[in-house]
Amino acid sequence: MSLINHIQDLRDRPPYGNNDDDDSVLDFDESDEGGPPKWRKRWWNYIPLCILLILIFAPQYSVMKVLVSYFLKTRDSPFLFAVNIFTIEFFTFLACSSLMVCLVRDPGAVRIGENAQAPAEADAHGETDMSVTEALLMPATTRTADVANEDDDFNSPLKWCRKCWAPKPERSHHCSVCKRCVLKMDHHCPWLAQKCVGHWTYPAFLHFLASTSILCAYVSIMCLRITYVAFVEPFSVGEIIAIHALFLTLYCAIFSITVGSFLGWHLYLVSTNQTTLESLSPFLLLRYLPSRPTDAPASISGTDDTSTNTTRQSRLAHIPREHQLSGAQRRHIQFAHGRIRIYDIGWRKNFAQVFGVGSESGRPKWNRWMYRAVCGGGSYGDGKTFPRNPRADNLLERLATALADEDKLE
């Protein structure tokens, strides 16, 4: 198929369309004629979620048996029984509430405006092969406009998703499983019934991890004490209760360590204002590389038409592609990835940006914190524009210079 026919095929795609025949995850529903296409999940996509619910509620029988037998019958302490059962069920409720938010709330839909038009000519030249130096020397007219203007130009070539054929805001990514773009996508989670974690569900996801970690740690420590008493005073604690307590100690300790480690990793990402995709994908830095002006007026395509060359330069994506990089250039990017934090504006502002506890939200402070404490809430902002670290521009410029110098040595 020629390039022109391929571009025409892309332009004829409906929003959120896909040409893949694999429907193992999602099924296309055309029941509503004339309406937008709908995607429905297959029944096996809910199996991980069912397993997760079983892992949460299955130990409840052992917990109640240990609480009743040890605190009511053995120690005869209704107060300790009430305190422990309230604490355990309270954190169970918090975990379930945030899990419900992650399941019900959209992670971050990209709204397609009526005036959104695809940059057809940019697509026509998007596959043009050029060196890294040539790509870095292109004038970044669109990029400069995006930085200078707070309102993102969704019609620019750098902000258009060719898979779902829709605008692609800043920090959004296309999920190959969900077949859609997600605002500030963190990762795709199969435990959430094959759903992504994005801008509007990331605080609830962190809330679920924190509630689960605290719940497991609390039950593990409580049952560890009961297990110790069962070994020291075997006649004071029944054999069945000791087995239940030992099971809960090991069971909750395992999940407390695993989920707690996962929570610690995400808290680090929040403190540096990164997503999982951004932290694990060093070559995403190529999207933010600044252009390097050149004094050479020669056309890259080899033609002498200056006006045609200028138009083409303004429409091309002014970034090098990953497959064009050499081994030395890849090492430069991987080394710089650990030092360049494009959206890191300080850990306090980073946490306020994620959990939305800034004074700009307009709610009373206690109301905001109560809402976050119950279900995690949602991130602050629209999920399309984010403040940037001013120090990152200098580092990106140095990286672009290093890549161009390596390209000249090839």
**Alpha-carbon distance 128 to 303, whole Å?**
14
Confidence of residue 342 (pLDDT cuts 50, 70, 90): very high
- pLDDT single digits (tens) 277-296: 999 988 888 888 876 554 44
- pLDDT at residue 297 greater than cutoff 50: no
- pLDDT at residue 115 greater than cutoff 90: no
Of the listed ranges 55-64, 235-244, 322-331, the least confidently predicted one is: 322-331
**Alpha-carbon distance 354 to 331, whole Å?**
31
Torsion, Cα 247 249 253 254, to 10 degrees, reads -10
Both tokens of 182, joined, read 């997600």
Give the C-alpha distances (Å, rounded to integers) separating 237 from 163, 240, 244. 62, 9, 11
Confidence of residue 365 (pLDDT cuts 50, 70, 90): low
- pLDDT at residue 21 greater than cutoff 50: no
Instruction: Please tell me the predicted confidence (pLDDT) of residue 291.
Output: 67
Mean pLDDT of the region 207-211: 97
Both tokens of 183, joined, read 């605002």
- pLDDT single digits (tens) 41-84: 788 889 999 999 999 999 999 999 999 999 998 888 999 999 99
- pLDDT at residue 118 greater than cutoff 80: no
Both tokens of 157, joined, read 């070539």
Both tokens of 370, joined, read 């109560």
Q: Which is higher by pLDDT, 280 or 310?
A: 280
* Of 136-145, 222-231, 363-372, highest mean pLDDT: 222-231
Rg over CA atoms, the chain: 27
Mean pLDDT of the region 313-332: 66
**Alpha-carbon distance 404 to 311, whole Å?**
23
Instruction: Please tell me the predicted confidence (pLDDT) of residue 16.
Output: 41
Q: Which residue reads 């680090």 in tokens?
A: 268
- pLDDT at residue 185 greater than cutoff 80: yes
Mean pLDDT of the region 350-360: 74
Q: Model-level pTM?
A: 0.75
Instruction: Please tell me the predicted confidence (pLDDT) of residue 142.
Output: 39
SS3 222: helix
- pLDDT single digits (tens) 135-150: 444 444 334 334 434 3
